[in-house]
């Protein structure tokens, strides 16, 4: 049964989920990663920006890293993974989802928790334009859900993709949405909502015929945003239809390469369904680790190298 024992036990202060989440998201700094940007054109003429960093010597190994909701390639959890890869003979490419690289994307749609076609486009670009023979995937939160769904729904994975590690993933979106909208997560949900509403205002300026002032005023919660924008822009009936179709939980049983999910018990963003023990017990390729601590993407460890980064390297190198 690929349910893994954990060795993670941080300093006392970081055993509080909110402290580890906030410190890691706001105060942590990762230095020493030099990124070079590449813009690729998607099949619908939109674009995605990729931020590359490189190992000291030429390598045929690549780590592809995906960020969470309203993140980008410069978030320090992204840089932490890239740095770990670069220091261990792997190049890294941190993917900015549509509209997350500092410039508004061109189309009405953007990104969401289940939008795997853009990841597939990135992978196709990498496998056709570069000669990496080993590709690993590493995703956080929303980006982790995209990876797990992609792996479970794709029957013809490129042979270069060897393994994946995902961290703090809301594999059951409806449950996580309900957690985020609860009082314990008020600060986080307000921050997410503020950022998302500002992007919606930008979309209104580009597509005034599709978003009006009444739509904007109706967005008072994260679910409202998904009802007003995410579901409509991406072809879902409503927010709940989006959550149901995009949750990676239903795809875990089909994952065919070694894949690790690390979800902390004290992650306030996750519902009980986000600890898929049964799925791990029934799929020899799907590994689950449930540390007691870590909050949401907050696995603080010594010398500013996070436990999740050490486990990522350990998992993919011990295959």
Catalytic positions, written as ranges? 141, 267, 296
Report d(CA 206, CA 191) in Å as an integer.
23
**HSE-up of residue 67 (Cα within 13 Å, Cβ side):** 27
Report d(CA 210, CA 228) in Å as an integer.
10
Compute CA distances 58 → 34, 61, 95, 319, whole Å. 16, 9, 21, 22
Report d(CA 312, CA 319) in Å as an integer.
11
């Amino acid at each position: 049964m690929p349910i893994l024992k954990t060795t993670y036990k941080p300093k006392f202060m970081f055993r509080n989920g909110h402290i580890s989440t906030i410190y890691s998201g706001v105060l942590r700094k990762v230095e020493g990663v030099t990124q070079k940007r590449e813009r690729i054109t998607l099949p619908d003429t939109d674009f995605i920006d990729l931020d590359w960093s490189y190992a000291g010597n030429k390598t045929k190994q690549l780590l592809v890293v995906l960020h969470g909701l309203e993140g980008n390639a410069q978030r320090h959890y992204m840089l932490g993974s890239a740095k770990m890869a670069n220091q261990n003979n792997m190049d890294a490419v941190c993917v900015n989802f549509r509209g997350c690289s500092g410039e508004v994307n061109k189309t009405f749609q953007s990104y969401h928790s289940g939008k795997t076609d853009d990841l597939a486009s990135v992978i196709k670009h990498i496998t056709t334009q570069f000669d990496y023979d080993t590709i690993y995937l590493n995703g956080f939160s929303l980006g982790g859900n995209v990876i797990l769904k992609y792996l479970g729904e794709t029957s013809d994975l490129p042979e270069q993709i060897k393994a994946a590690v995902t961290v703090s993933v809301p594999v059951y979106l409806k449950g996580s949405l309900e957690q985020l909208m609860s009082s314990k997560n008020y600060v986080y949900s307000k921050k997410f909502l503020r950022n998302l509403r500002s992007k919606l205002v930008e979309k209104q300026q580009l597509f005034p015929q599709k978003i009006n002032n009444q739509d904007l005023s109706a967005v008072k919660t994260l679910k409202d945003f998904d009802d007003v924008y995410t579901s409509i822009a991406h072809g879902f009936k409503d927010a709940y239809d989006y959550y149901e179709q995009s949750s990676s939980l239903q795809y875990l049983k089909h994952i065919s390469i070694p894949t690790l999910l690390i979800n902390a018990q004290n992650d306030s963003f996750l519902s009980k369904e986000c600890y898929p023990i049964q799925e791990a017990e029934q799929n020899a390729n799907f590994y689950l680790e449930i540390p007691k601590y870590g909050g949401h993407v907050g696995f603080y460890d010594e010398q500013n190298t996070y436990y999740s980064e050490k486990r990522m390297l350990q998992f993919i190198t011990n295959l």
